[in-house]
Amino acid sequence: MLDSLKKIAIGSDHAGYKLKEYLKEYLQKQKFIIKDFGTFSEERMDYPDPIHPLADAVNKNEFERGIIICGSGNGVAIVANKYRMVRAAVCWSEEITKLARQHNDANIISLPARFLTPEQGLRYLQVFLDTEFERGRHLRRVEKISQII
């Protein structure tokens, strides 16, 4: 894991709750400081409720990285990407996850809980945390993402 990365935000809807708890347990064992934005059960709820405050905190640089989880990974990513400095990427394979970090400097990983095992989710999270942004030609592109037109 990145030595400098010690604080991480995490949040999910009801479909992602079990995976969130699984990943939280791992991160706690790795000595991360975790802020859990919810949800806190499998009771049905609206995914924007925990994701808006999480994405806002990443947007304000209170957390360098975030983890968001729902059934498909899409709903929570759409919410998170409303924030100017957030780059949330839906990740369902190691290669996609690695490219999201290397080329897009994704600062939030969005996981589709209904389409992967907890072990896969953990592996993708590890890749997300371990992979550096390549900068170079990608930096110009990433800077353009944050521009409001």
Mind telling me the catalytic residues?
Answer: 70, 103
Of 88, 96, 87, 130, nearest to 116 by C-alpha is 96
Q: Where are the beta strands (DSSP E) in the chain?
A: 7-12, 33-36, 65-70, 88-90, 108-112
How far, in Å, CA of 140 to CA of 136, rounded?
A: 8
Q: Are 127 and 109 in contact (CB under 8 A)?
A: no
How far, in Å, CA of 30 to CA of 33, rounded?
A: 9
Residue with tokens 């640089």: 61
Q: Are 59 and 86 in contact (CB under 8 A)?
A: yes
Joined together, the tokens standing for residue 72 give 């498909």
